[in-house]
């Protein structure tokens, strides 16, 4: 009797998992946040033109600037990881390689983000 079933009925519950929308929104939100944070970064770098290390460290020691720098780094690594995830999902067709790349990308994003945040905190706190 399966030959008489509607093709749409056979495809029901075998399509998209529906979780791609959350990923899409995360990419768009992180991109919008990066626009604002990049504007801050351009302003900050312009303000620091010609400054020495001590002046740059004093600038970063201000809680607002340290927070903005940490947000920029965290959002940048998160947005980059989301983008690379899409590339791997779209173009890598071997499941084991796909999983290995996804784990590597996430691990490197976490490691790079933590390393950058710790460097910013070290400068900001004068450690």
Measured over the CA atoms of residue 34, residue 39, residue 40 and residue 42, the dihedral's sign is positive
pLDDT, tens only, 79-103: 999 999 999 999 999 999 999 999 9
The pLDDT-based confidence of 121 (bands split at 50, 70, 90) is: very high
pLDDT tops 60 at residue 1: no
**Contact predicate 40/72, CB 8 Å:** yes
Looking at the chain, the whole-number percentage of residues with pLDDT higher than 70 is 85
Phi, psi of 92 (to 5 degrees): -105, 120
Model pTM? 0.82
Q: Which residues have CB under 8 Å from 57's CB, separation 6+? A: 123, 126
| 21-125, CATH topology level | 3 helical TM bundles of succinate and fumarate reductases (1.20.1300)
């Amino acid at each position: 009797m399966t030959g008489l079933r509607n093709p749409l009925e056979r495809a029901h519950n075998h399509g998209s998992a529906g979780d791609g929308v959350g990923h899409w929104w995360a990419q768009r939100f992180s991109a919008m946040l990066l626009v604002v944070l990049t504007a801050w970064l351009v302003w900050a770098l312009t303000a620091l033109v010609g400054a020495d290390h001590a002046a740059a460290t004093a600038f970063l020691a201000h809680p607002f600037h340290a927070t903005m720098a940490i947000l920029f780094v965290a959002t940048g690594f998160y947005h980059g990881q989301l983008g690379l995830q899409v590339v791997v999902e779209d173009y890598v067709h071997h499941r084991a390689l796909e999983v290995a790349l996804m784990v590597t990308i996430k691990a490197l994003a976490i490691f790079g983000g933590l390393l950058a945040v710790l460097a910013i905190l070290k400068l900001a706190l004068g450690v």
